[in-house]
Structure formats: C-alpha cells, structure tokens
Amino acid sequence: MKRGFVSDNCAGAHPEIIKAIGACNAGHAPSYGNDEYCARAAKRFGELMEREVPVTFVFNGTGANVVSLACSLRPFESVVCADCAHINMDETGAPERVLGSKLQGIPTPDGKLTAEKIAPLLSAQGNMHHSQPRVLSLTNVTEWGAVYTPEEIRALADFAHAHGMLVHMDGARIANAVVAANCTMAEMTWKAGLDVLSFGGVKNGTIFGEAVLFFNEILAEKAAFVRKNVTQLQSKLRFVGAQFEALLQGGLWRKNAAHANAMAKRLEEALAAFPAIEITHPAQANMLFMKMPENYTRAVCAGGFGSDMGGIVRMVCSWDTEQEDIEALARALGQVVS
C-alpha cells in the first residue's frame, strides 16, 4: 500500500510490535492488567522516567486525555488549553461531556501557551459565578507542529502551580518532541513539573492503546476507578502492555521518532524547490504546514500526500516514511508545474 503524509496514524505497526503481540498471544494470562506484560511495561516506564511512576493503560488517545483530566479536576473546575488543542477541537466534545467540566481555549498561532496568555483567565479564581481554572493542558508536539522545550514547560508549570493549578500534557507525539528537543523523557516531563502525561504510542509504531503516567501520585489513586467508569478498561490488557514493553525496550520509541523527524526535515527541503509553496509552520518535529496554489493542493490530497486544513496543507512523517515517498511527492508536484 502506498505511503503518504496524511497522518502518522496511517502508518502500520513496527515489526517489533507485531512480534510482541504474537508472543503474548500464546496461552492464557490474567486479565485487566494483572499480567506480566503490563508489569514489565510499567517497569520499562520507570527506567525511561528515571523513577517509579504509576501507569494506567487505556484504549486510545482521547481516553488517555479524559482519564488524565478526570483524575485532576471536579465539574465546576476548568481546563485551560490552546484553542487548537486536540481535547478542544478534535475529540468531539468528549472531555466536556464525560468530565462535565469547561474547556477554556486560548488563541495561539502555533499551539504554544505562555504565562502571559494564561494570566487573564485566572481572574476567575475564587468567583462563584465562573468555572475555576484548575488544569493547564499542554500538547507536545503541538497541533501546529511546534515543540515545547523543558525550560518552557518548567516556566509554565511553575506559573500554574503557583496559582493552584495542575499540569497535564497530551503527549500523543511526546517521543517526537523529546527527540526534537534533544533531551531525556524525564527532563521533558516530571522534571519539568508535569503532574500527569498522556503517553502516545500509536503515532510512534504501536497498533492501539495509550498510557497515562501520573507524576503526582495523589491523582493516581483514582485512576483505576476512573478508567473503568469512562469505559477505558480493556479486559485483555496484556496486548497493550506487550506493545509498550517492545516500544520502550532498546529505545525503539526514540529510533522511530528520530526517523520520522529526520524525514520531515528532508520533506521540507524537497518542498523548498517549489517557489509557489510557502511553509507556514516549519518541521520542528515530524509535522509541517504550508500554503500552496489550489492545483497543488488538489494533487497533494488526491495522491494521499497530505491533508487540506482549510487552506493550509498538513504533512506528517511517520516511523516508516522513506526517501522514495518524498520523491514520489516531488514527482507529483512536478507534473502539476509542467
């Protein structure tokens, strides 16, 4: 099947993940996460984070965000996020419906928040007539392909904590962010002040299942009950645990992300050969965004090379993107020019 740049969700699973799924399929194992695969995956997360950390495995990214937030706030409290945040724009209102809490989106050109942007919302604190800002939710890599550095996260976390807030990160592409920032996973997360992290695997080579990591262990006390309550508990959870064990073992997560990021840079360089294409959001990690003439956009979308986001074309590289895929895009665009 032809590879393109529509989304890293379109990529298949890494062979090591398929191998892990097959291995854990032999015989029987305890259900609901009480198995050796989930235990070993949790241990791998501890090694990755340089400390023990409670891990809650769920079905998908929306579920990871909902579980994270449900453990962090009450219905009269709100989540402060970028207006483009996945929880605000692309989860069909799931967080608000399930949590019964308000999401407060802040306009931002690249998906990154600052203390200055957040501060005006905090005037509602203590006012009984307003939803109370309780959780600051960051996305890394952002929905516009930007990367928060550990220093930027620390500044935001310190600001949030000083105002009685918790900090959640939607890390659907956390591996790509860590590679782009040239830091460790610990430096990007709990050492920078995060309280809870939605750790993505599907965009980095797994088939299904995500993980919620609680660095604020008080929040983790609710996790098992919340996960079941919001329909995110899988009975045969070993199939999720086995995937994360394989993804974390030997640094496969980093290798996959580094490859996707490197391919995005090559893709950006290839697109620079077309003067009519304007890169609006350069490839900081594995995504880039651009403006192009309508005939280019039609060719790109028809060929499965990208997606039109209302006049802006998005392209995303995956763990399995190859140079030949970039060359195929260049040929398609070249035919439009000719």
Q: How confident is the model at residue 336 (pLDDT cuts 50, 70, 90)?
A: confident
CATH code, domain with 172:
3.40.640.10
Question: What pairs with residue 80 in β-bridges?
Answer: 104, 136
CA angle at residue 322 from 303 to 187, to 5 degrees? 115
Tens-digit pLDDT profile for residues 209-263? 999 999 999 999 999 999 999 999 999 999 999 999 999 999 999 999 999 999 9
| Nearest Cα residue to 68 out of 239, 231, 166, 196 | 196
> Both 166 and 261 in a single domain?
no
Mean pLDDT, rounded, for 191-204: 98
Q: What is the DSSP string of 277-314?
A: -EEEE--SSSEEEEE--HHHHHHHHHTTS-EESSS-EE
> Both 59 and 165 in a single domain?
yes
> Both 261 and 115 in a single domain?
no
Domain count for the chain, please give it: 2
Domain-located, residue 4: no
> Both 241 and 309 in a single domain?
no
The pLDDT value given to residue 232: 97
The pLDDT value given to residue 218: 96
The range of the structural domain enclosing residue 333 comes to 253-337
328/286 Cα distance (integer angstroms): 18
Q: Among the three residues 251, 274, 291, which one is the final residue of a domain in this structure?
A: 251
| Nearest Cα residue to 215 out of 21, 71, 27 | 71
Domain-located, residue 6: no
- Classified as helix, coil or strand, 190 is helix
H runs (alpha helix) in 133-251? 150-162, 174-181, 185-188, 217-220, 223-229, 238-248
Tens-digit pLDDT profile for residues 165-184? 999 999 999 999 999 999 99
> Both 194 and 307 in a single domain?
no
pTM summary value: 0.97
Average pLDDT for the chain: 97
- Classified as helix, coil or strand, 213 is strand
Domain-located, residue 8: no
CATH code, domain with 281:
3.90.1150.10
> Both 121 and 155 in a single domain?
yes
The pLDDT value given to residue 337: 61
Tens-digit pLDDT profile for residues 20-64? 999 999 999 999 999 999 999 999 999 999 999 999 999 999 999
